[in-house]
Amino acid sequence: MYLARVTGRLVATQRYTGLDGVALQWIQPLDEDGKSMGDQMVACAAISSGPGDLVMFVDGREAAMACPVTFVPVDAAIVGFVEQAISKGVPIGRGAAGVS
């Protein structure tokens, strides 16, 4: 899994069967210091996360297992709402300076 910041939301009514009711959200993966790492991507939100939240996501085939119906073409899913992450002794979640 990786840490990420939810940055936006996406609406797609015409979608593969089995994905109805699954929220799609833009996420920005973060590195171990909480800085942006790599490109943003769209993930299924298995939990009620929203823009601005620090979350944990899983990519690859396992992401589909976080969805209500598991036989779906999903390669990124938010699986955790992170209150705080400590990395190298430095908090990079809610408690960190400058991170809302």
Partner 1 sequence: MLIGKVVGSVVATQKDEKLEGRKLLVVQVHNQQNKPLDQYVVAVDSVQAGPGDMILYATGSSARQTTVTEGRPCDAVVMAVVDSWDLGGANVYEKWS
Contacts of 5 (CB under 8 A, 6+ apart): 27, 28, 30, 36, 52, 53, 54, 55
Among 1, 33, 38, 60, binds partner 1 (CB under 8 A): 60
Distance between CA atoms of residues 11 and 92, nearest Å: 30
Among 19, 37, 56, 99, binds partner 1 (CB under 8 A): 19
The dihedral sign for the CA sequence 64, 65, 70, 71: positive
Q: State yes or no: residue 98 binds partner 1 (CB under 8 A).
A: no
Nearer to partner 1, 50 or 95 (CB): 50
The least distance separating partner 1 from the CB of residue 97, rounded to whole angstroms, comes to 21
List residues near partner 1 by CB under 8 A.
Answer: 7-16, 19, 24, 26, 39-43, 51-52, 60-61, 63-64, 71-76
